[in-house]
Structure 1
Amino acid sequence: MDGDGIGPEIVPVAREVVSAAGALVGIEFDWVSLPLGVSAIKTHGRPVRRGDTRGARRSRHLGPGPT
């Protein structure tokens, strides 16, 4: 969840860092990006889409960016 403000700038970099660290120990990540905050309001009319909350609950880890 990229979030707002600096989120769209830092979340992709954070994913790269975590992926690189995981690769060192044989862990692979399956990243899924979800709109959050103002970007979600602009495209979907709400800060978090209803289906995304279900997906986030099923996820083992969640990394929301700054909002």
Structure 2
Amino acid sequence: MLNPTECREMAMQYRHEANKAGASPRRASLLRNISHSLSALSHQLEMLADDRLEADQPQTKQ
């Protein structure tokens, strides 16, 4: 499974490929969409990790 850092790195690579000279508009658009998806996935994985940490914390009564 990918971790958030790997997703961000892959997103940057896809964004870089999209910005290369000579990439067709369609290819550039597809690469940017993949980059955005990977970036969103990295945020979701971070939120999931935070949620797991919260779930593992002992609950205190108030």
**TM-score, normalization by structure 2:** 0.41
In our comparison, the structure showing a higher alpha carbon Rg is 2
Higher helix content, 1 or 2: 2
Greater relative contact order: 1 or 2 (C-alpha under 8 angstroms, separation 6 or more)?
A: 1
